[in-house]
Amino acid sequence: MLSISRCNNVNDLRSLAKRRLPRSMFHYIDGGADDEVTLRRNTDAFEDYEIQPRFLRPVDEIDTTVTLFGKKLDIPFFIAPTGMSRLFHHTKENAVARAAAKFGTAYSLSTLGTASLEEISEETDGPKMFQIYILKDRELTREFVERCKAANYDALCLTVDVPLAGNRERDKVTGMTMPPRFTMKSFFSFFTHPNWSFNFLLHPDFRLANVVHRVDALGKGAMGLIEYVNSQFDRTVTWDDASRLIQQWGGPFVIKGVLTSEDAKRAREIGATALMISNHGGRQVDGAVASLDVLPGIAEAVGEQLTVLFDSGVRSGPDVLKALALGADAVLLGRPYLYGLALGGQEGVEHVLRCLLAELDLTMGNAGCSTLADLVPDLLTRSPR
């Protein structure tokens, strides 16, 4: 049987995860919104750029370090916030945070994590970012900011691209429920993946650790946690709300989900220090522009004043190189590390980071680049296809 260590790249890990996970779990990670046009375009967009290597330059030492939020990262890619890691592996967010710290890179914890922000802070002293939503329950949003200050988070990241939950059709087909339930529809798949199922039953600590106390405090007793969270997405959030949050936090602040230069400039005007060009990995607006397609324009508009982060579609070292060359200061990974987590906890995530770093190192060296400063737009050409 293929093991993680024999996976050579993210695509291998994805294939293995597809075999090892119950259908509903795999497709929850892997799927996108509606017809998944944006999901596919996110990865295809990287093929529209080709690398033009330069030779006869010393590449005996490759330096991949970058400074982010005042901290040095050993590698220019890090962990994107994703909800409910406990669904995929019982070692959950803690394992991912440990893997990130081991590689000298940053970890982002989602509001919808199954580990609390304090737990993650104790788990690792590596660079950490907390991803926040402005919820209808504004008191909870304010509380998050204070808790992040107390727990020494390096940055806060406001996700702005979820005014409504995206339409993930694969979840409807597989009968995905949160928390997972052994229903008629899912029974066969859970039964044929006993490893995952036993682990889920033996470690039944599925809880949205950052919000659970609030549901109790609000006396919502009978109301499920998931219903509470779904009811909390607020369609009325504006730039003024974001601006107030930036002031309350007073430190490095990222706006996640920016896809236009206009919004990027607005982010700068209200005092954000960074933005993340992202379409949520194609999980929100199907037909939305691929992140890579808007990266050069946004980097040109605000790259001098703001830190530009990038995600959606990164699957390999050459992808990382292309995003950095087109103006990103650092890149985030979503699905790639979740495949690794699902397959092998911390070791699985480390394997993903190891593969990507080896690929980046090799591509930089073979393209004549010894530092990230060598990754400039001229290194790429738009493919004639």
Ligand X SMILES: Cc1cc2nc3c(=O)[nH]c(=O)nc-3n(C[C@H](O)[C@H](O)[C@H](O)COP(=O)(O)O)c2cc1C
Question: Is residue 280 among the annotated active site residues?
Answer: yes
Q: Which of 90, 280, 322, 351 binds ligand X (CB under 6 A)?
A: 280
Exactly one of 90, 193, 280, 351 is catalytic; name it. 280
Of 110 and 363, CB closest to ligand X: 110
User: How far apart (Å, rounded) are the C-alpha atoms in residues 111 and 188?
Assistant: 32
Stretch that binds ligand X, among 66-74, 76-84, 92-100, 203-211 (CB under 6 A): 76-84
Angle, helices 184-191 vs 194-202, to 10°: value is 110
Beta carbon nearer to ligand X, 105 or 312 = 312
Question: In Å, how far from its chain's centre is CA 310?
Answer: 10
Residue 299 touches ligand X, criterion: CB under 6 A: no
CA distances from 237 to 74, 138, 333 (A): 36, 11, 26
Q: How far is the CB of 257 from ligand X (least distance, A)?
A: 7
Q: Tokens 């954000």, residue?
A: 272
- Considering only CA atoms, which of 157, 135, 188, 17 is closest in space to residue 80? 157
Q: What letter represents residue 79's amino acid? A: I
Told to check if 335 binds ligand X by CB under 6 A, we report: yes
**How many angstroms separate the Cα of 67 from the Cα of each of 11, 104, 106, 317?**
29, 11, 11, 19
- Give CA 154 to chain center in angstroms: 17
DSSP 8-state class, residue 331 = E
Choose the stretch contacting ligand X; rule: CB under 6 A; options: 64-72, 114-122, 146-154, 329-337: 329-337
Q: Is residue 83 a contact residue for ligand X (CB under 6 A)? A: yes
Q: Shortest gap between Cβ of 326 and ligand X (angstroms)?
A: 16
Nearer to ligand X, 85 or 363 (CB): 85
Match 């470690």 to its residue by tokens.
Answer: 203
Eight-class DSSP state of 288: P
Segment 154 to 213, residues that bind ligand X, using CB under 6 A: 159
Q: Which of residues 301-320 bind ligand X (CB under 6 A)?
A: 311-314
Q: Which stretch binds ligand X (CB under 6 A): 196-204, 273-281, 321-329, 342-350?
A: 273-281
Residue among 111 and 186 whose Cβ is closer to ligand X: 111
CB of 233 to ligand X, least distance (A): 11
- Other CB atoms within a 10 A radius of the CB of residue 8 amount to 11
Find the shortest distance in angstroms from Cβ 35 to ligand X. Answer: 17
76 interacts with ligand X by CB under 6 A: no
Contact 311, 333 (CB under 8 A): yes
Give the CA angle between residues 345, 346, 347 to the nearest 5°. 95
Where b means 16+ CB within 10 Å and e means fewer, 324-345 reads bbbbbbbbbbbbbbbbbbbbbb
Give the residue closest to ligand X by C-beta: 334
* Contact between residue 347 and residue 11 where contact means Cβ atoms under 8 Å apart: no
Q: What's the token pair of residue 293?
A: 């397609």
Residue 165 backbone phi and psi in degrees, to 5: -70, 140
> Does residue 278 interact with ligand X by CB under 6 A?
yes
Phi, psi of 382 (to 5 degrees): -75, 130
Does 29 sit near ligand X (CB under 6 A)? yes
In the bound state with ligand X, the residue whose beta carbon lies nearer, of 275 and 374, is 275
Task: Please identify, among the stretches 176-184, 190-198, 217-225, 330-338, the one whose residues bind ligand X according to the rule CB under 6 A.
Answer: 330-338
Nearest CB to ligand X, comparing residues 68 and 80: 80
d(CA 155, CA 97): 15
Q: Can residue 112 be called a binding residue for ligand X (CB under 6 A)?
A: yes
Rg for the chain (alpha carbons), in Å?
Answer: 20
Q: Give me the least distance between CB of 330 and ligand X, in Å please.
A: 13
Size of the site for ligand X (CB under 6 A): 23
Looking at 75-83, 142-150, 267-275, 358-366, which segment touches ligand X (CB under 6 A)?
A: 75-83
Give whichever of 42 and 124 is closer to ligand X, judged by the CB atom: 42
Pick one of 290, 308, 333, 342: the residue that binds ligand X (CB under 6 A). 333
The two tokens of residue 2 are 């293929």
- Active-site amino acid positions: 280
**Residues lying near ligand X in the complex (CB under 6 A):** 29, 42, 80-83, 110, 112, 131, 159, 256, 278, 280-281, 283, 311-314, 333-335, 338
